[in-house]
Every structure is written in C-alpha cells, then in structure tokens.
Amino acid sequence: MEPTRDAQVTLVDLLDRVLDKGLVINADIIISVAGIPLIGVNLRAALAGMETMVKYGMMKTWDEKIRGREGNNRIDREISLLQGEELELRVPGSVLHTQGIYVAWRPGQICVTDRRLFLRQQEFDETIFQTSLDKIEKLLVRSDTLCIVLEDQRRVSLRVADVDRLAASIKGAMKSRGLVVDETPLLPEYEEDALDFLTERETVTHKGKAWCMVLPDSVWRPGHLYITNRRLCWCYDFEKRLAFEVPTERILGSAIEVRNLSPVLKRKKVFDVIYEANSERKVASFSGEKMYEWERAVNRIISFRERIEACPECGKEAIVLGLLEDGCIHCGWVSPRLKKEAEEIMA
C-alpha cells in the first residue's frame, strides 16, 4: 500500500478512516541519556470502531456483555418494573380497550411478572392495562385470544401470537405465589362470540346499553346498540335477538333531542338515526346514556363514507369507502385487506 497525501483531507475524514479501517500501533521505544538506556516502552495498540473490532474478532466477548447488560437495563426502564419485581415474560400483543361506546384493540408489550400482568405502549410511555395476579379469577384460551375475568367481574381480552405460552406464564407466576386460577368455561355474557349475529369478518367498533322505541307499538324496550364495520343494529335483551339493523351506507344522518318517553320517564335524551329504506326516509329512536357519543360515531361514519382520496396506484380521486371495499375502477388497485381475503379464498 502506497501512502498518499491529500491537502483537502479534514480531521473528520481522518477520524472516519480510523474508525472504519482501524489503526494499529506497534512500537518499541527506548529512552537513553548519555548512551545509557533508562526507560523502555513496548507499545501494542489497536484503534477502531467497535464494528470493525468485532469484525476482526477483537473485544467480541466484552462487546456482547456490555450490550446484554444495557439491553436488560433498557427493558427494566421501558416496562417500569417495581422494586424487586422480576420479569417472567414479555411478548408483543394487544388488549381489547373500551372507553364509553368505543371498542378497539390497542397494541403494546404484554408483560408477566411475579406480581402482576400489564400491557405497556412504549411509544407513548403509557400503561394501557394492568392488574395484580391475585385479582385474576378465571382464564380461558380461545383461538388467539386469552379471556381473563378479574375479581370485580371485569373481563379483559388479550391477543398474542402464542396465546398458550402467555396463559402458561400467567398460571406459573400465580402458582409460584400460591394462587389458583379457575379455568372453567366462562359464562355466555363473557364470551366474545356471544354476538352470534355477526357475519364473517364483521367486527364491533361501538357498543352500549340503549332503549329502543319498537314499532308499530311505539314501546320503549331495553337492549344493546352496536355499530360494526358494516351496520348499526340493536339487540333486544329479553329475546336475545336483533330487532333492528341498518347498513351504514343507508344512514343519512342523526340528531338528538329531549323528549318524554312515558308519563314517568320525562325529559330524556333521544338519539334519532335517519336512514333510507324502500326509497323512503325513516327514523329509528334510541335513548340511554352517552347519546352524544353515539351521535359523534354516526357522524364519523357519514363523513368517512363521503371523503374523497387519491388512489395509491394511479392517483385518480375516488370515494374512500369505494376504494377500500371495491378497489379502484380506473387501474384495478385493491387494498391489502382485499388481497388477503382473496388469497384465503383461493387457498
């Protein structure tokens, strides 16, 4: 290798070359005075970036130990372990989160320790769900979902890739603390599949208790109101059946006003859903708590249905709902969800 000289080289270029290629110093130095050797220096040194060092088999063990120790410390900081708490399992997953009438799966890191079970979302430094192990009463594995019933009868649904591993970790942690978990089947009201009116690939996005004015008698009856990715529907509690449903694309609008439901129930908020059926405008009336949340949910459906976006493939504008459900009529682009459904059908 012939040495070269470049007057334009800066200190940054020098450091980059040293860290990338490395620098080896091999020197024997003797310091003498009046011909008498007094000090001897035997110098052997290598200077390079750690990637280069490891590449040539130098300091590899030390590098692994430091990275491993820092990785463990980072995990402890990220999941905020309590003092003396030991981590048993950490896997990516999601929890079924409900707030008001809103229902959604929220992702994060599911952690099982010797004291508690929790899900943490690192990006936002937020613990979405947590419970101590001694508050867990029931466990049930169903497909890719782990259903948990707590002592206050709240239900928690967790989804992970290996749900059996998560269940085994929770049972093991509870057993080590002398706790026993009940694995008997859950009651129907705890079963997610108790909503047997759902069709294939239909999912609930909003749900809540609501009274409905049932026609033609105009009698208010108790039940549960649902919004799915396909329709708005109301289930009559006593008969456990759908008594009203309307596809979301037929919903025209909504409104809230105060009415008297009966001589006893006066000045109650009534949520009216205006929809089209048989080329006529009709109204379905509901009453209960959080009616304003239902109105906002329906308005979001209407605004989303009418929103226009550009096709990712050809750039031509189209209605969002049409793009997602049917694909682009100009270039034939289809959404990843539709491609996945087609592959499953072909398989």
- Please report the domains of the chain, with CATH numbers, ordered by start residue: 11-58 (no CATH), 83-185 (2.30.29.30), 202-304 (2.30.29.30), 308-346 (no CATH)
Within 8 A by CB and 6+ apart from 129, the residues are: 95, 97, 118, 119, 156
Cα dihedral value 213, 218, 221, 226, nearest 10: -20
Residue 107: closest CA among 123, 89, 85: 123
Beta strands in the chain (DSSP E): 23-33, 36-47, 87-99, 102-113, 116-121, 126-132, 136-142, 145-150, 155-160, 204-214, 219-228, 231-236, 241-247, 251-259, 268-277, 280-287, 308-310, 317-319
Provide the pLDDT for residue 281.
92
Kindly tell me if the per-residue pLDDT of 188 is higher than 50.
Answer: no
Angle, vertex CA 121, rays to CA 117 and CA 127, nearest 5: 50
Kindly tell me if the per-residue pLDDT of 216 is higher than 90.
Answer: no
Kindly tell me if the per-residue pLDDT of 246 is higher than 80.
Answer: yes
Kindly tell me if the per-residue pLDDT of 248 is higher than 80.
Answer: yes
How far lies 108's CA from each of 127, 143, 164, 171, in Å? Answer: 9, 20, 18, 21
State the Cα–Cα distance between residues 325 and 201, nearest whole angstrom.
13
State the Cα–Cα distance between residues 167 and 173, nearest whole angstrom.
10
Kindly tell me if the per-residue pLDDT of 198 is higher than 50.
Answer: yes
Greater pLDDT, 41 or 342: 41
Greater pLDDT, 60 or 114: 114
Do residues 167 and 192 lie in contact, with contact meaning Cβ atoms separated by under 8 Å? Answer: no
Do residues 96 and 103 lie in contact, with contact meaning Cβ atoms separated by under 8 Å? Answer: yes
> Which band of pLDDT confidence, cut at 50, 70 and 90, is reported for residue 191?
very low
State the Cα–Cα distance between residues 226 and 247, nearest whole angstrom.
12
Tens-digit pLDDT profile for residues 103-134 = 788 898 999 999 999 998 877 778 889 999 99
Tens-digit pLDDT profile for residues 119-177 = 988 777 788 899 999 999 888 887 778 888 888 878 888 999 899 999 999 999 999 98
333: helix, strand or coil? coil
The per-residue DSSP string of 265-295 comes to S-SEEEEEEEEEETTEEEEEEEESS-HHHHH
Residue 116 phi/psi, 5° resolution?
Answer: -150, 170
> Which band of pLDDT confidence, cut at 50, 70 and 90, is reported for residue 195?
low
The CA-to-CA distance between both ends of the chain, in Å, stands at 60
Greater pLDDT, 217 or 5: 217
Q: What percent of the chain has pLDDT over 90?
A: 22
> Which band of pLDDT confidence, cut at 50, 70 and 90, is reported for residue 185?
low
Provide the pLDDT for residue 189.
44
300: helix, strand or coil? helix
State the Cα–Cα distance between residues 221 and 286, nearest whole angstrom.
10
- Tokens 């919903």 locate to 251
Kindly tell me if the per-residue pLDDT of 181 is higher than 90.
Answer: no
State the Cα–Cα distance between residues 31 and 188, nearest whole angstrom.
90
> Which band of pLDDT confidence, cut at 50, 70 and 90, is reported for residue 193?
very low
